[in-house]
Amino acid sequence: MVEDTDRRPTRDRQSILASRQLEILEAIARGAPLASTLADVAALVEEQARGMMASILLLDADRRIRHGAGPSLPEGFMKAIEGEAIGPAAGSCGTAMYFNKTIITPDIATDPLWESYRDVALAYGLRSSWSIPLLSSDGRVLGSLAQYYREPRDPSPRDRQLVDIARHLAEIAIERHQAEATLRNRNAELEALNTRLKEMDQLKSNFVNLVSHELRTPLSAIRGFAEFLEDQFGGPLSTEQISYVAEILRGAQRLQALLDDLLDFARMDAGTFHLEREEVELVSTIGKTLESLRPLALVRKIDLEGPPEETQLRLRADPARVSQILINLVGNALKFTPAGGRVSVAVFPLGGEVRVEVNDNGTGVAPEHLLHLFERFYQVDSGNSRGSSGAGLGLPICQALVEAHGGKIGVTSTPGVGSQFWFTLPMAV
Ligand SMILES: Nc1ncnc2c1ncn2[C@@H]1O[C@H](COP(=O)(O)OP(=O)(O)OP(=O)(O)O)[C@@H](O)[C@H]1O
Ligand SMILES: [Mg+2]
């Protein structure tokens, strides 16, 4: 057995070791490249024990050996083990990584673990080695750290102490490098995803714009000619034909409303949506809107009531849009209230704003759905079982319109009892 031959005073060696450690830690903190940090760690070990060659190997995702550092080891030997699989008898390092334990080979010439690599190791003059696994903070094997000698020998207590110090440095460096690589990959993935989302968003809004513009022209032709027919400009119609034409017109109106909603969303998403604000008297606007809905209420046998006409509330708002909000909310109330029910609209001035409430004693909405009602295309029961039509765009449009005015919108509801949809609008200053 050969003993530690370094005759430098222990104190000198210890202080050199301490300052090397510090330098390496600083380099890791600065984000130095992994290869250079590992080479420094290997050099630190070699510097402390003359004649010893250190190696640091990395374990890749396929559990194969990858070069880390081996500044003094013969290049041919390092090349021979590069890319080799670890296993139960794969030299000192491959076996140490495989079993996650320290493997000591006092003589490569006789150790069965070295069978596959014995010839190459002996050819390069390597005679003894020992290796410890390098672990991540959560216990994964990251690689191995080994010492080689050109003569048969066991590791000395000094070797063990050195390797212990070096292993910590190598583990920190490798783990940090892996964490950074993971972070870089995630960032790249996120960036790619973001670009894709932007493209899809652009595509969607181009598509909506195109579709709604392209559909408008034929739709106006359908409406126009159906109206001609309805007015019997093309000759007298039978009662049956009159009812068919009425169906065509109703369908065309529904399509028109849907296109208007889609186009509004497209404008809002593109930031090109604008309100046409003017002085508005709220109660009379509500009155006019309710008048337009009265035929529907009559058909559905629902009592529809508005706020007392004498109330005066002045706002700066877009009257067409305020009316659109009401048509949606009152339209919903009429749609989801059974015959014989009641729908009422009330207004309350409150500080600098006015609160408008649309109350019904209809089906109500279960609490788990309430939060989602204002999402685009959300419908409590969108199956065919529901008797009511629609696309689930009314409430999100209302929300966008109310918020464009600087107001808020909300709902309280009890299933089987009824709902209150409310919104606020700032008063004119
Ligand atoms: N007054 C109400 N009573 C009970 N449920 C309601 C009421 N108002 C809305 N809802 C529920 O909220 C869902 C979404 O309403 P929204 O107005 O956004 O869409 P829609 O009326 O289904 O379709 P659209 O308004 O696009 O024609 C409705 O499908 C319904 O399930
Ligand atoms: Mg609706």
Q: What is the mean pLDDT of residues 345-368?
A: 95
Q: Which residues pair with 419 in a beta bridge?
A: 360, 413
Closest residue (by CA) to atom 29 of ligand 1? 379
Looking at 118-127, 235-244, 250-259, 405-414, which range is the least confident one?
250-259
Most confident listed range (37-51, 135-149, 248-262, 308-322): 135-149
Ligand 1 centroid to residue 392 C-alpha, Å: 6
When pLDDT is averaged across residues 278-297 and rounded to a whole number, the result is 95
128, β-bridge pairs: 149
Pocket of ligand 1 (CB under 6 A): 328, 332-333, 336, 360, 362-365, 373, 378-380, 390-395, 419
**Contact (CB, 8 A) for 402 and 423:** yes
Q: What is the mean pLDDT of residues 303-309?
A: 94
What pLDDT does residue 385 have?
46
Alpha helix stretches (DSSP H) within 128-238: 157-230
Look at 256 and 145; give whichever has higher pLDDT: 145
pLDDT at 409: 98
Which ligand is nearest to the Cα of residue 389, counting in written order?
1
Q: Give the model's confidence band at 59: pLDDT under 50 very low, under 70 low, under 90 confident, else very high.
A: very high
Residue 372's pLDDT is 94
User: What pLDDT sits at residue 383?
Assistant: 56
CA 197 to chain centroid, in Å, comes to: 11
pTM over 0.75: no
Residue 384, pLDDT score = 47
pLDDT surpassing 90 at residue 2: no
Residue 386 has pLDDT above 90, yes or no: no
Please choose from 334, 373, 421 the residue to mutate so as to test ligand 1's pocket, defined by most ligand atoms within 8 A of CB.
Answer: 373
Question: Order of strands, edge to edge, in the sheet holding 103-105?
Answer: 65-69, 53-59, 141-149, 128-135, 103-105
**Residue 391 DSSP symbol:** -
Q: Which helix (H) or strand (E) holds 270?
A: helix 239-270
Residue 265: the pLDDT is 85
- Give distance in angstroms: CA of 70 to centre of ligand 1: 71
* Cβ(121)–Cβ(146) below 8 Å: no
Closest CA to 134 of 255, 245, 41, 15: 41
Name the DSSP class of 155: P
| Best of 324, 332, 379, 399 for a ligand 1 pocket test (most atoms within 8 Å of beta carbon) | 332
Neighbours of 389 (CB within 10 A): 8
**CA 181 to CA 64: how far, in whole Å?**
19
Give the ligand 1 atom nearest the CA of 380.
31
Q: Which residue has the higher pLDDT, 366 or 200?
A: 366
pLDDT at 349 over 70: yes
Alpha-carbon distance 342 to 332, whole Å?
13
The pLDDT, as a whole number, for residue 382 is: 63
pLDDT digits (tens, 9 = 90+) for 272-285: 889 999 999 999 99
Least confident of 52-66, 132-146, 245-259: 245-259
Tell me, what's the pLDDT at 216?
A: 86
Could you give the percent of the chain with pLDDT greater than 90? 78
Nearest-ligand number for the alpha carbon of 378? 1
In the β-sheet with 342-350, what is the strand arrangement from edge to edge?
Answer: 303-305, 342-350, 353-360, 418-426, 409-414
- Ligand 1 atom closest to 379 (CA): 29
Average pLDDT over residues 198-206: 83
Confidence (pLDDT) at 214: 85
According to the model, what pLDDT value does residue 210 have?
Answer: 82
pLDDT of residue 1 exceeding 60: no
Nearest residue (by CA) to ligand 1, atom 7, is 332
Q: Would you place residue 429 in the very low, low, confident or very high pLDDT band (cuts 50, 70, 90)?
A: low
In the chain, what percentage of residues exceed pLDDT 70?
Answer: 96
Give the closest ligand to the alpha carbon of residue 400.
1
| pLDDT score, position 13 | 78
Average pLDDT over residues 275-297: 95
